[in-house]
């Protein structure tokens, strides 16, 4: 696609439910990043993929968080048993290659846990 697409754009869920957030990167982009941004805060790194593998999962805040990427394209971030502190905007970015031409961000998914 022309840009990085994230869905849904907004998600309200009840505490304890599982949610899936989707990121569709620019076609051909091999590197994909997930970030979390709480209200008024900076970007918090979660995980990055090179192709389908995730060399760095160090930012995932707990074992309730997981992510996968299939076919070197779409990535899904799953949060199990959501908590109120998970409420944030989740941003995805992609790049043609880990070392190269800059990064393009999606518009994000705003997650609200009630």
Of 17-25, 67-75, 77-85, 103-111, the window that binds another protein (rule: CB under 8 A) is 103-111
Q: Where do the DSSP E strands lie in the chain? A: 5-7, 10-13, 19-24, 31-37, 44-50, 53-56, 65-69, 75-79, 88-95, 104-105, 109-113
Instruction: State which of residues 24, 79, 88, 106 lies at the interface with another protein (CB under 8 A).
Output: 106
55-94 footprint of another protein as x/- string (CB under 8 A)? xx-xx-----------------------------x-x-x-
Could you say whether residue 26 binds another protein (CB under 8 A)? no
């Amino acid at each position: 696609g022309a840009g990085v697409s994230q869905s849904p754009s907004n998600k309200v869920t009840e505490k304890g439910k599982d949610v899936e957030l989707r990121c569709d990167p620019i076609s051909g982009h091999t590197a994909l990043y997930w970030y979390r941004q709480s209200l008024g805060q900076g970007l918090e790194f979660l995980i990055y993929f090179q192709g389908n593998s995730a060399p760095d999962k160090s930012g995932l805040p707990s074992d309730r968080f997981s992510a996968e990427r299939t076919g070197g394209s779409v990535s899904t971030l799953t949060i199990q048993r959501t908590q109120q502190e998970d409420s944030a905007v989740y941003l995805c970015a992609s790049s043609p290659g880990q070392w190269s031409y800059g990064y393009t961000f999606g518009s994000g998914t705003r997650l609200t846990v009630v």
